[in-house]
Amino acid sequence: MSWQWSCCSPPLVGDLNYDGMVDWADLEVLLAHWSLSNWVPSVLRPEVGPVPEDLLPERP
C-alpha cells in the first residue's frame, strides 16, 4: 500500500532522495542530476555547446 504512504506524507520540499530528511545527501542528488544533465548532452550532442578544437575534424 505504498500509495497510502505517499498520499498521507508527501516528501519534504528539498528531500531529493526521499529519505525523509533534507540533508547533504539531497545536495549530492541535485549535483549529480545537474552535472549529468549539463555534461552528458554536451558530449553526446556537440551542437548543445562549443566543441573543443581537438574534437573537430581536421581541415584538409
pLDDT of residue 5: 46
Q: How far is CA 51 from CA 34, 36, 43, 48, in A?
A: 20, 18, 9, 9
Q: pTM for the whole thing? A: 0.37
Contacts of 14 (CB under 8 A, 6+ apart): 22, 26
C-alpha cell at 16: 531529493
pLDDT in 10s for each residue of the chain, 60 residues: 444 444 555 667 778 777 888 888 888 888 887 776 666 555 555 555 555 666 556 666
Cell numbers at 19, concatenated = 529519505
